[in-house]
Structure formats: C-alpha cells, structure tokens
Structure 1
Amino acid sequence: MTLAELSLKEYLVEQTKLIDQELDRLVPAEDVAPSTIHKAMRYSLFAGGKRIRPILCLEAARSIAGHDVEGAVTVACPLELIHTYSLIHDDLPALDNDDLRRGRPTSHKVFGEAMAILAGDSLLTFAFEVLGRLGNARLVAELASASGTVRGMIAGQVHDIEGENQAPTAELLDQIHRAKTGALLRCSLRLGAIHAGATEDQLASISAYGEHIGLAFQIVDDILDVTQTSEELGKTAGKDAEQHKITFPAVYGLDASQHMAEEQRGLAHAALEQFGGSARRLHELADLIVDRNS
C-alpha cells in the first residue's frame, strides 16, 4: 500500500515512525558520554509527541515536488529538536512551573533543573548542527529567525511572560502567538518548500498556509486548556487562567475563539489552491489541527 492510499491515522503513524527513526539515528545514544545529558535529551524527545512540525515540513516538500524529496526527513528533524527544547524550558519552575508533559513527569522533575536546562540547550544547539551539515545557509537562517528574539519563538515567550497580569488585549494576544507558536509552524513549511526548490510564488502560498494553521493551532490550544482535563491533554489543564495568561478565550470568549479557528482553517485551505491534489495531506493536517482534542 502506498503512502497516498493510507488513511490519515495510518499515514500519521507511518510518518511518525519515519521521523523517529531519523531522530534516533541523529541524536547520540544514551550510553554516549556524558550519558546523563543524552538520557535527558532522549527522555523528552521520545516522550510521544505528535511530530506535527516535521510532518508539515515533509508535506510541504511533497506539495512542491509531487513526491518524496531526498534529505527532507533530515531537514524536518531539527524542527522537533527545537520544539522539544522549548517544551523543556517552558516547563521549568522559572517559567510555567509544570510537573506534567505528554502524560509523564517533566524533564526537571526527573533529572533536576540544571540538567533540564542543559538538555534544552543541547537540543537547541544540536538542531543547528544537524541543519548546518546539509550545507544550505538559507535553511539555517530560516530556523534561527523562527526561533529567535525579533519575530520568533523566544520573542513570543517574552511577550507572554510580560503579558501576565496585564489586561488581555487583542493586539498583545496577536503579538504573543504569531511569534510563540506560529513562527515555528510557519518555518516548518518553509523549510520543506525551500529544500524542495519552491518558486517564490509557491513559497508565498505555503507561508500563508503556515500563518493560518499557526494561528488556528494556538487558538485551539487555548480552548483545550479551558475545556479538557489534564488526563486528556497529557499536561496540566487550566494553567493559562491560573497564571493569568493572555489567551484567545480570555480576550474573545470560547464561542468566538472557536469561530476564529474555523475561519483560519478556511483561509489555510484556500492558500493551497495552486497545489491541487499534491497538497491533500496539508489539507488534512489543517483539519486535524482544528479538530483535535489534545
């Protein structure tokens, strides 16, 4: 059975397996010295994440080329390394102070705060080592920008921290989440498209899709924090309200937030028009992001 013939559920299982095999190949084994740091890196990396970002990268490449692109899975892996580093650091006592991630104790609860910080640092730096080996400086620059302090993930985290206990406004909410969550999701698609040789017009369409699913992803994340239990989420529910974070439900309410997620879904689908059937899985992933319950 070909990849195209698989159901979405089967497809996600196969793609996750592909990505995990490459991550396992790339990341030092637990018995490589210093072993503690490699155990900590792998503990969080292989804790059962959905691999949405690397899968989006692979599908962006396929939408451009119409087939699997050599080396795309290696391009995709640094995205998961960066994402995992951000989760480890987000969970630290100095930030969200969370004890649960993906249904099990967070890194600092298992390895201590110092080793958790170093595990995050190691995943971050290793991501750029992996991407740098491929010899495409544009890919490295794209990932650095999406992770950084101007319009990237770290900038979003800073805005999020400084926004705690402030009056929730639409402007600050947009500023936080287009950087904190949206930048890396958008980058995931751009890396795959660039690696596959996208034209500027194709890259613009892929980027627009990424903008819309990035916003939809965060809206749904905020909704789930209000509506789901910790067991359903695999992380502590209700943390946003407890920490007085600026969220979509806090600014717009639940009903309006759900409507906004649906609107972003529609815009994401529209952005893929030029790709026809080669973007089938990207369409399905947009629906998955909006319809998910964890």
Structure 2
Amino acid sequence: MVTLPSSQPEPADQSPHQYRETAESFGVDAARYDRTRPPYPAAMIERILAATSGKELLDVGCGTGIEARQFRDAGATVLGVEPDARMAEFARTTGIEVETGTFETWDPSGRTFDGVISGTAWHWVDPVAGAAQAARVLRPGGRLSAFWHVPQLPPEVVASFADAYRRWLPDSPASLIADRPALELYETILGNAERGIRNSGGFEHPQRWQFDWQRTYSRAEWLDQIPTHGALTQVDPDTLAAVSDAVGAAIDALGGQFTIAYATVVVTATRALT
C-alpha cells in the first residue's frame, strides 16, 4: 500500500492553475493522451457513485473523456467542461457531451448536478473559485470528487528518468523536481484541493479515499505515454526524441519494463446544506 506523507517541508508550486499554456497543451495529441493515460479503478467509480445522491454528473476538465466514459458505463449521465477545444472534440467523438470553457467562468445556465467530478485536472482549476463554482452547481447534498493517480516509481527508475530530464530539459521546472517523490509532490496538490474546499465555505469537511493498484509498463508503452506529460507537450520534436531515447535506454537497462505502484486518491466533500 502506498502511504501519503502528512506534510511537505519544501512545497512545490502552489498555483499550477495559473499556467494556462500548460493546462491547455494536452490536446496537442488527444488520441495519444486517450490511448496511453490509465483509466481509474472500478472500485473508485463505484464508491463515488454510491456516495453521491444521484447520477447526474458534471466532469470538470474532462479531457478526452476517460473518466466520463467510465462513469457513463456505470450508469451515470455525464456532461463535461473542458478548456482545450481539441480534447473536447475528441471526447465528443466517444459519445460524451462537452462544453468548452474554463470551469471557474463557465455558465451553467441554471443547470444543477448531483455530483461534480474531476480526474487528474482539478489542480488546473483555481482551488477556491473552483470549489465555490462546484457548490453553486451542486444540488443540496451533492458531492464534489476530485481524483488523481499518484505514481510511485522504483527509485532506480526515478533516478534514470531524472538524469534524462536534466540533460535535455535543464531549464524546465520538471527537471528541478524530477527526482522528488511523487507522494511528496502530490501532497501539495491534494492539500491545495482540501484547502480550497474548506475556504470556499460551500462544503462539509473534505475527506480522502485511496485505491491502490499496480501496472507494469513495457518500453514501448511508456515511450508512447511520455509525450502526453506536461513537461513534454510543448517541447520541440528534437528534444522530445532525445528525452525518449534517453528514457528508453534507461528502461532497457532495467530489463525492458518496470512496475508502477499507483495510489489513486480522491479528495471529496459534500455540499453544505445551509
């Protein structure tokens, strides 16, 4: 089981939602993003739906519709809101209804929902303004559930990948944190979400739910995914190729594959009744 730390002495960036260029860069290859990003544990989908008062959901930052399709297939009705028009269009091709815009300024036109969900996207939303908007569009007793995959890579994998990023992306913020534990970095994201929910004044006390699982990646599978990572969505093709070659060599040295222990963590709260 992956255990998240309770605090972080040297916090990472506290306001990733301000980096709109990165936040709206993932649609550069929406098909690859949808193909390579892992879905969410079925147990998480089931628990969120069981704890939500109904099945009309709003998916904030729905991207290509990965989690929206999972909730839809579990019996929910899902409307997505997505700032990147390319990602939104891809989601529509999979049968998900999507409106384009940033959630904080999105106009619900009087519509309300039983639940607001957000998969690996809430850190791109202003934590207080986003929670306040969620409270406005939720029905009484409705639930906000934001969730992320927290990947714990083996130490030797982290070290090898960090070397590649520092060599080829020396000026990127990603190179500065490449060998920091994901558990530490995500604690900042999770803590920001919780503080935003509390400071919005619209919710009961937030909770965390955790779902542990593992996945083994081959060299080809990981190299197919890394162009969708935020540090690489905007780099030039030559730099991307160099990073891919270096990471691929590191995976070869590890036997051609490696296993990630994931903790999918949900920050969730019920809308206050008063």
Structure with bigger strand share is: 2
When the two structures are superposed, what TM-score results if normalisation uses the length of structure 2?
Answer: 0.26
Richer in helix (by share)? 1
Q: Which protein has greater RCO, CA pairs closer than 8 Å, 6+ apart?
A: 2
The two structures have a TM-score, normalised by structure 1, of 0.25
